[in-house]
Structure 1
Amino acid sequence: MQGYNVLMIYSPEMDKLLMCTRLKEPYKGLSNLVGGKIEPWEAGIDAAYRELAEETGITADDVVLKHLMDFTYYVQDCYVEVYAGRLKHAVEIAGDENELYWSELDRDFFDMTLYAGEGNIGHMIEQVKMSKELFL
């Protein structure tokens, strides 16, 4: 079963979420969270920090990731580990895989015409709201 990760990176004030505009399929043109593939030899948390650094330039010195939840897709034979973290300080984001930007949190993240993941982004954001004390 192939593993992937999704990374929810919040600004230091917890008022913005790091997102990207997908430049390729699946979900080309839609907003998404950053993340990537977990290699077979990697622990999930190690893959999360590696993907975060590769795609955004953010490192473990900038953020502490917390394992929020997992999704298992048996028909597609894959699973997704979801990590969330609040930046310790302002950082300059840089990456060339997708177009990165900071999103306000007052958006309808369940809108599948704008956001990838069939509503999963909205669900994950709601879970962080319910557990906000973990990030304060």
Structure 2
Amino acid sequence: MQGNNVLMVYNKDKDKLLMCERLKNPYKGLSNLVGGKIENGETGIEAAYRELLEETNISKEDIKLHHLMDFTYYLQDCYVEVYVGRLKREVSVSGDENILYWSDLDNNFFDMSSYAGEGNIGHMIEQVNYVKDHLL
């Protein structure tokens, strides 16, 4: 079963979420969270920090990630691990895989014409909101 991860990165003030505009399919042109594949021999958290550095230039020293939830897609033979964290300081993000930007949190993340993931991003943000004060 192929493992993937999704990374929810909040800024230091917890009022913005790091998003990307997808430059390729799936979801080309839509906004999404950053993330990637879990390689063979990697733990989920190792892959999360590796992908974060590769895609955003945010290092393990800049943020503490917490394992929030998983999605398992049995018929597609894959699963997604969701990690969330808040930056310890302001960080200049950069990456060439997608267009990175900081999103306000008052958007409709369930809008599938703007956001990837069939509403999953909205669901994940709602779950973070339940634990935000003591987790981030």
Structure 2 unaligned regions, length at least 5? none
2:84 maps to a residue whose letter is A
2:106 maps to a residue whose letter is D
Residue in structure 1 matched with residue 17 of structure 2 by the alignment: 17
Q: For residues 29 and 134 of structure 1, what CA distance do their matches in structure 2 show?
A: 34
Residue in structure 1 matched with residue 135 of structure 2 by the alignment: 135
Deviation at 1:13, TM superposition (A): 0.5
Q: For residues 127 and 100 of structure 1, what CA distance do their matches in structure 2 show?
A: 23
TM-score by length of 2: 0.99
Q: For residues 69 and 135 of structure 1, what CA distance do their matches in structure 2 show?
A: 13
Deviation digits for residues 2-24 of structure 1, max 9, x if unmatched?
00000000000000000000000
Q: For residues 134 and 93 of structure 1, what CA distance do their matches in structure 2 show?
A: 25
Residue in structure 1 matched with residue 59 of structure 2 by the alignment: 59
Residue in structure 1 matched with residue 121 of structure 2 by the alignment: 121
Q: For residues 40 and 78 of structure 1, what CA distance do their matches in structure 2 show?
A: 14
Residue in structure 2 matched with residue 5 of structure 1 by the alignment: 5
Q: For residues 54 and 32 of structure 1, what CA distance do their matches in structure 2 show?
A: 16
- How large is the Cα RMSD of the aligned pairs? 0.6
Q: Percent identity?
A: 71
> SS state of the match for residue 85, structure 2?
strand
Structure 1 unaligned regions, length at least 5? none
Q: How many residues align?
A: 136
TM-score by length of 1: 0.99
Q: For residues 132 and 26 of structure 1, what CA distance do their matches in structure 2 show?
A: 30
